[in-house]
Each structure stands twice: as C-alpha cells, then as structure tokens.
A and B are shown apart, each in its own frame.
Chain A
C-alpha cells in the first residue's frame, strides 16, 4: 500500500516537473530574447513597433513593415484556408462514402508532412508564374482598387498568402474533422427527428462544434504566423506597408532568417532579435485571444443550454 502511494507521489512529481519545464522554457525564451535585444529596445523604444525604415547601413530599425506583412499574409491565408479546410472536414466526416474517409484524411494530413522548402520551390516554379499570369490579366477597372495596384511581378503578397493557405489547410481540417467526429450522434438524430434535411443536420453539427472549429482555425493562424521558408521564397522580401496583394512585402520570420547570418554589427543583431521578441509576443497574443474567444463562446453556449450540461465541452480539442 505504501509502495503504491509513493509510486503515485513520484509519478505526480515527475510529470509535474515536465509540465513546469514547458513553462520555464517559455519564460526562458522571453527572457533571453529581451536580454539579447536590450540595445535596440533602449535605442528605439516603442518606435521600433511603428518605424517603417529598416536600414542596416545607418543603423535605423523599425519593424512595422514586417509586422504588417506577417499579420496580413496570415489573415489572408486564413480567409483562403478556413472555408476549404472546413469543407474538407465536413465532407470527410459527414458526407463521403465510408471507404473514402481514411484515404482522404490520410492525404490531407500528408500535406502537413511536406517540408516547407518544398512548398517554397513549388511556389517559385509553379505558383508564381500562374499568379503572374493572373495579375497580367487583371481588368483595368480592378487595377484602380488599392488591393490590385502595382506591377505584375508574380512574387508578392498574393503568392505568399496562397502558399500559406495550402500549408495551413491540413492542420485546420484535421482538427475540425476530429471535432465533427466527436459531435454526439444524438445531435444529428435529434435534428433528423425534427425533419431536418442533411444540410440542416450538418449545420447543427457544425454549430455544436463551433468553438472547437474556431480553435482549429486559430491553430492554423498560429502556424501561418511563424512560417518562414516557403514565404520568403515567394513574398518578394521588400519591407513596405502596402494593402496591395501584388506588392512584394516581407515578414518577421523571413527577415530574421535572411539577415541573421551576416549581421555582424551589435545594434543590427539586437534589432533582429527584437523582431523575434515581437513575433513571440504577437504569437502569444494571438493564442490568448483565440483562447478567450473559445471560452466566451463556450460560456455563452452553456448559458443558453443549461438543460444540456455537456454541451460544447466535448467538442473542444484538448
């Protein structure tokens, strides 16, 4: 009996230590990033967030174009990827013949296993020429809208967003599929019992797993924020704040990957590490916001359906 309880205690301590390690690593990363960017933090302060110049020669650094590029490309990727991913998830879990389910799920997950450099190469050689053709074919009236301004280079925001979207789809769709699978069949049966069509029953299932699906989408967003290699190969790497989909732009992770090796100057190095710190903060921020979003949705759902205490909870990924 004593032996078992000491085993228990040991087990709890060991797993607790591992869990604490995760927390320590996160704090350690934050601390180290701050420590190694002190020069740039002292010199530029908050203007580092808002400055638009990135000039290693004169030592003038501002991160706004990179922050903009990262957020803009990720949001665009999300807008492209979310409907597709959700469509895949719904088809696989609700509509496809049983025989097709496993192969389809496997194929979408295979997309996630492709290294990003391969996506980048594919982007450079296949996607960019296609996008250039699209850009060349832009009708004149569209060119007046800021979204479609600029020369048809092929490389630029649009190419980056499309690549990112493709890379994000497998993550979002596989989590969304799991969530739909976990919707109790009582939900669907109830819908059918009330005379719902198949489409309406699916709507009920999706509505039931709503908070989990939002979580799946945010997971994809987090992935898009940090993606480096494929993006830098197609985005054009020009630090500018532009709403145009055709304009070459830049992202935070891309500038670190590109310039870190040759940065010999102290302030330059600190500025690059501060970009890393900003990316760290933004990623944490996005994750927190998505958590809050999910919590508030769950809370609302629970309030609405007190008679069903298990509602929503089951459908949220751990």
Chain B
C-alpha cells in the first residue's frame, strides 16, 4: 500500500466513509499493519478538536445498564481478536482439529519432534490468512519474503513473523510472553544447518517490534524461526541457551 493509499484509507476510516466490507478489512489491517495503525490514530487524534466541548447530560440509569451488560461479557484476548479477524477473512488461525478439517492425524508429539503434520498445516493455513490480510494491507515492494506463524508446544500460535529481503523482521506477539526481570526474548532463524541458529535480535517484552537482523541471505520458505527466553542482554553463547517459547517454519505469502 503506497503512502497516499494508506492515508486515503485512514481518512475514509476515520471519517466513517467506508462500507461494511471496507471497514472490516481496515479493522483487520489495524491489528497487523503498524503503519496503517499510525496513519489512522494520528489522523483521528488530530480531528478530535472538531468534537467540540459539547457535553450531553448523562441519563441516570445509563451506567447501570452498561455495568449489567458488561457483567455478562468476557473480555477477548488479543489473540482471540486477531483470530476472529482472520476468521472473518475466511481462514481460521487456530490449528485444525486433531483429526479434523484436513484429515491429518496428530503426529506423535507434533512439531517439536520433527513430525510436522498438523502444526505445519496450521502454520500454512494461518500464513495464507495472514498473506490475505497483508495482501490487502500493504502491497508494496516491501512485502515480506516470508511469513511465519510461531507455535508453542501446544501448537497454539504465539507470534507472527514477517521477514523481509532487507533483513528486517517484524514480530507481532499474539500472546503475553512472561519475561522475568533480567531476561529477554531473543529471535532466531536457522537459514543453514551448517551455520546453526543466528540471532536476529532481542525484545524486552511482548510488544510488536521490528528488528533489523544481520546481513543474511533472503529468507526462504521452510526456514526455521524461533523465539527463546535468554539472560539479558542476549544469549552469551551466540546460540540459543534458554527455553524455546515458540517456533515455526516460513511460508511464502500469496502475492
């Protein structure tokens, strides 16, 4: 998405000029596209002055009606919200039922012992969904080379990674990784088994981040990415020492 197009869509979204389909798409993009999000919220904040100082009296019972309704409503996690955005795009982000949608049997111990059936299928499904969304959000020369859904040991998506040809890596955590004091999240990739895992950088917390990794060959499908928990400031050995929190294999997003 060009800067002009991004600003135009942000304008239509904030002004309320989108139809329902466009708006659903914009809201999906808001969850995953940091540049679009910036464009929307900076514009919305600037227009706030037009709301004026007007205050309407607040009816007596309004808060109690809201409180009563809210009492029966469970808050959704960020992961659930991103998932439902993905589902709205037509593809679920959750791993398929163990013997379900794709008719794949649960591999012995899943992804972590090398048998990759269900987890890989889930990764590819999710990456297709992601590609769909990113395709809407940012069709530019800066499209990621690969996208990766990193799964935890239960095959639940824990982070989305977009890896770019210029060595940048964007990480969108989908879960709150617990990072105790003195620890960091370190992101790794294995682009060559002979070289071993290479650090792409560290993150202090479960916040979206863009890392400018070292100069490596362009990321390829099936390349392994993982996030481990290491002692700050980073693994002293230059290879993963701490526990693997999530890992996944890259796929090329549909163009």
Asked if A pairs with B, the answer is no
Interface residues of A (CB under 8 A from B): none
